[in-house]
Structure formats: C-alpha cells, structure tokens
Amino acid sequence: MIEQHIEELRAELNACFEPSERCQIETELEIAQAELIVMLAEQDGSTDAEPPF
C-alpha cells in the first residue's frame, strides 16, 4: 500500500510544473519514503517499534 502511494506521488511529481505544488509533493514523497524505510526496518527486526524512553 505504501509502495503504491510512493509510485503515485512520483507520477504526480513528474506531471507537475507549479513550483509550490512540486514542493508539497516532494515533501509528501520524502515522508512516505521514510515511513517505508521504518516499516521495513521494523519487519526485519533491525529496529524496535517502541520509543527509547
């Protein structure tokens, strides 16, 4: 699901020419990619889902 969202954001970014909209899409894409990295790290056990405190 998150992978599909990332692909959709990439497609939107490629089709977008307005600078302010591009910036917003780029930010959303970076957040989605970070979420995917965390999700994958939690799945393979390389990080804990619990906060350190």
Q: Which residues have C-beta within 8 Å of that of residue 49, sequence separation ≥ 6? A: 42
Q: Which residues have C-beta within 8 Å of that of residue 41, sequence separation ≥ 6? A: 47
- pLDDT reported for residue 51: 64
pLDDT (tens digit, 9 = 90+) per residue, 1-53? 999 999 999 999 999 999 999 999 999 999 999 999 999 998 887 766 666 66
pTM score, two decimals? Answer: 0.80
Distance CA 48, CA 41 (A): 8
